[in-house]
Structure 1
């Protein structure tokens, strides 16, 4: 998808591409599909909307939850609005900087810990 498309054109192209995928899979039953699903369409407000700050992105996830008619989930710095359509889901996700920083701090030790006993 071209980056220089208008929002309306990008939306139309995404919808056409989703129809194209569905039609292709329908015509080619030999092509495997996810066994357990779901297939996700994910929107990340900082990248996919006009939100430029974390606060604006959180507000955008809240707005999307309202549009979808689903509750907003906030878990450990993850703000999520998710609507399920059978094996396909649409979600808007914002992970706060504080949550990403906590994860980075946890991961900073990963190369210092080994399940194997030290070699002598």
Structure 2
């Protein structure tokens, strides 16, 4: 295992042990661990997700400019996602307006 992978696995185990031993600490109903495919050509990114889906035994979820797959372990989800070029371009276009529009303030009564 790589150092990052080992650190992640150990961190997940440590958190689980901590939450099990400290019932007064609130815990979420579920958690998702995301793996984002590095930016590449859309076909290459889809191929990586297809490969992961085969390893996970999971279906492909394609929608909203994302191409992904996931597997549930009870309330814990492992999700791999590729953000495709059109979705990245749309986000960049929308984000280009950030800070350019200032809404009027509304006085509370």
TM-score by structure 1 length? Answer: 0.71
Which deviates the most, 57-66 or 99-108? 99-108
Task: Quote the offset at 1:76 in angstroms.
Answer: 2.5
Residue matched to 1:4: none
Per-residue CA deviations over 1:1-20 (Å, capped at 9, x if unaligned) read: xxxxxx53322222111110
Q: Give the alignment's Cα RMSD to 1 decimal.
A: 2.4
Residue matched to 2:37: 45
Task: Quote the offset at 1:100 in angstroms.
Answer: 1.9
**Unpaired segments of 5 or more residues in structure 1?**
1-6, 47-51
Residue matched to 1:3: none
Q: 5 Å matches for 1:14-25?
A: 14-25=8-19
**Unpaired segments of 5 or more residues in structure 2?**
none
Residue matched to 1:84: 72
Task: Give distance in 1, aligned partners of 2:49 and 2:93.
Answer: 26
Task: Quote the offset at 1:84 in angstroms.
Answer: 1.1
Residue matched to 2:4: 10
Question: Which of structures 1 and 2 has the larger relative contact order (alpha carbons within 8 angstroms, sep 6+)?
Answer: 2
Which deviates the most, 103-112 or 84-93? 103-112
Per-residue CA deviations over 1:15-42 (Å, capped at 9, x if unaligned) read: 11111000000111111111xx430111
User: What SS class does the counterpart of residue 30 from structure 1 fall into?
Assistant: coil
Number of residues paired by the alignment?
Answer: 104
